[in-house]
Amino acid sequence: MTTTYSIKDLEKFSGIKAHTIRIWEKRFQIFTPDRTETNIRRYSEEELKYLLNVSVLYNKGMKISEIMNLPPDLMRERVMQLAIQSDGIESHLENLVIAMIELNEDLFDKTFNTSMIKLGFEKTIIQLIYPFFEKIGLLWQTGSIIPTQEHFISNLIRQKLIVAIDSITAPRSATAKSFLLYLPENEWHELGLLFKHYLIKKRGHRVIYLGPNVPFGNLKTVIQSVKPCCIVGQYITSRSFEESKTDLQNLAEYASSIQIFISGNFLQKNPDLLPKGLLAYKNIYEFLEQTE
């Protein structure tokens, strides 16, 4: 099935107001969108990609009349150059959205690596990647992106996290703790957990990383085997209120002598879910404060 976009979708992706897009259509013939039977504009994925490139150049101060005279190849080349030269987070976010829509690994790498040089790995994840996922989360809710695009960009970020984790060679601290990290059964969104793996290991602690989709029975077996100092779990969307509540109550009872840190959107929407003895945190800074 062909993906099409409304003018409001284009506005959300590019930051260019729908009114401005209509003016550009009339004045510069930037698009000739299809229309539904009720005369509503519908745009193709190619038109969305084009507008994203236009928006990057336009937001950098280039006149729209000059942009319209650029051949598509030269326009993409200018955007790639800006990915290297750009200083602002907003510009980097624009480039990541373009990389996701176009399935453009080169643009993703240039944007990510430029940010890493200026901010370092940790701040790049917190200040760029977290806001990026908030942005595409909103776009996902409106049906503006397709699963393959989200999977593409998520896997590229996952690769960066794994490389960063593997590159930590510093010895463990004299006061090192052991952290057991997991996602509950049927939960697969592991990027946040991988970043916690990186943060904990970087601070000289030991990590036992179980990853996604861990049934509670298996979790109990590992806890009994490795006896960790701390457990870190993440509940996002996968399980019902009752399933999650039962899991967390069982965990609190079974591992009552262990520090247990729990996070996730699901918990924020259900504050009564957390049993006594478990520690919740709203963001990565709270997590770092509580685990130090």
Q: Are residues 275 and 141 in the same domain?
A: no
Q: Are residues 41 and 132 in the same domain?
A: yes
Express each pLDDT in 60-82 by its tens digit.
888 999 999 998 888 888 887 77
Got the DSSP string for the chain?
---EE-HHHHHHHH---HHHHHHHHHHH-----EE-TT--EEEEHHHHHHHHHHHHHHHTT--HHHHHTS-HHHHHHHHHHHHHH--SHHHHHHHHHHHHHHT-HHHHHHHHHHHHHHH-HHHHIIIIIHHHHHHHHHHHHTT-S-HHHHHHHHHHHHHHHHHHHHT--PPPPTT--EEEEEEETT----HHHHHHHHHHHHTT-EEEEEEEEE-HHHHHHHHHHH--SEEEEE--SSS-HHHHHHHHHHHHHHTTTSEEEEE-HHHHH-GGGSPTTEEE-SSHHHHHHHH-
Counting Cβ atoms within 10 Å, is residue 175 exposed (0-12), middle (13-18) or buried (19+)? exposed
Beta-strand pair 34-35/259-263: unpaired
User: Sign of the C-alpha dihedral, residues 115, 161, 133, 73?
Assistant: positive
pLDDT band (50, 70, 90) for residue 19: very high
Express each pLDDT in 120-163 by its tens digit.
899 999 999 988 887 776 555 455 667 888 899 999 999 999 99
Structural domain ending residue among the three candidates 165, 192, 226:
165
**Range scoring the smallest mean pLDDT among 50-54, 104-108, 272-276:** 272-276
Assigned token pair, 291: 């685990």
- In angstroms, the CA 258 to CA 29 distance is 64
Query: What pLDDT is stored for residue 30 in this prediction?
Result: 87
Q: Are residues 99 and 175 in the same domain?
A: no
Q: Chain-wide mean pLDDT for the chain?
A: 84
**Side-chain half-sphere CA neighbours of 17 within 13 A:** 3
Q: Are residues 69 and 151 in the same domain?
A: yes
Only one residue has tokens 């006061």, namely 175
Instruction: Check whether 196 has a pLDDT greater than 90.
Output: yes
Assigned token pair, 229: 């100092």
| Tally of domains within the chain | 2
Query: What pLDDT is stored for residue 84 in this prediction?
Result: 65
Q: Are residues 203 and 130 in the same domain?
A: no
Q: What is the mean pLDDT of residues 13-20?
A: 85
pLDDT band (50, 70, 90) for residue 180: very high
Q: Are residues 187 and 155 in the same domain?
A: no
Dihedral, CA of residue 166, residue 169, residue 175 and residue 177, to nearest 10: 10
Query: What pLDDT is stored for residue 266 in this prediction?
Result: 67
Instruction: Check whether 288 has a pLDDT greater than 50.
Output: yes
214 strand-pairing partners: 184
Instruction: Check whether 183 has a pLDDT greater than 80.
Output: yes
Instruction: Check whether 257 has a pLDDT greater than 80.
Output: yes
**Side-chain half-sphere CA neighbours of 101 within 13 A:** 28
Express each pLDDT in 80-124 by its tens digit.
777 666 667 888 888 898 899 889 999 999 899 888 878 889 999
CATH label of the domain that carries residue 109:
1.10.1660.10
Domain range for 106 is 4-165
Counting Cβ atoms within 10 Å, is residue 126 exposed (0-12), middle (13-18) or buried (19+)? middle
Residue 90 Cα distances to 14, 55, 96, 255, angstroms: 11, 12, 10, 43
Of 49-53, 115-119, 179-183, highest mean pLDDT: 179-183
Got the DSSP string for 127-158?
IIIHHHHHHHHHHHHTT-S-HHHHHHHHHHHH
CATH label of the domain that carries residue 252:
3.40.50.280
Query: What pLDDT is stored for residue 128 in this prediction?
Result: 92
Q: Are residues 33 and 89 in the same domain?
A: yes
Structural domain ending residue among the three candidates 165, 181, 196:
165
Query: What pLDDT is stored for residue 1 in this prediction?
Result: 44
Assigned token pair, 198: 């990186």
Q: Are residues 64 and 207 in the same domain?
A: no
Q: Are residues 20 and 158 in the same domain?
A: yes
Q: Are residues 267 and 247 in the same domain?
A: yes
pLDDT band (50, 70, 90) for residue 188: confident
**Range scoring the smallest mean pLDDT among 173-182, 213-222, 235-244:** 235-244
Q: Are residues 8 and 131 in the same domain?
A: yes
Q: Are residues 186 and 113 in the same domain?
A: no
pTM: 0.74
Structural domain ending residue among the three candidates 106, 141, 165:
165
Q: What is the mean pLDDT of residues 199-228?
A: 92
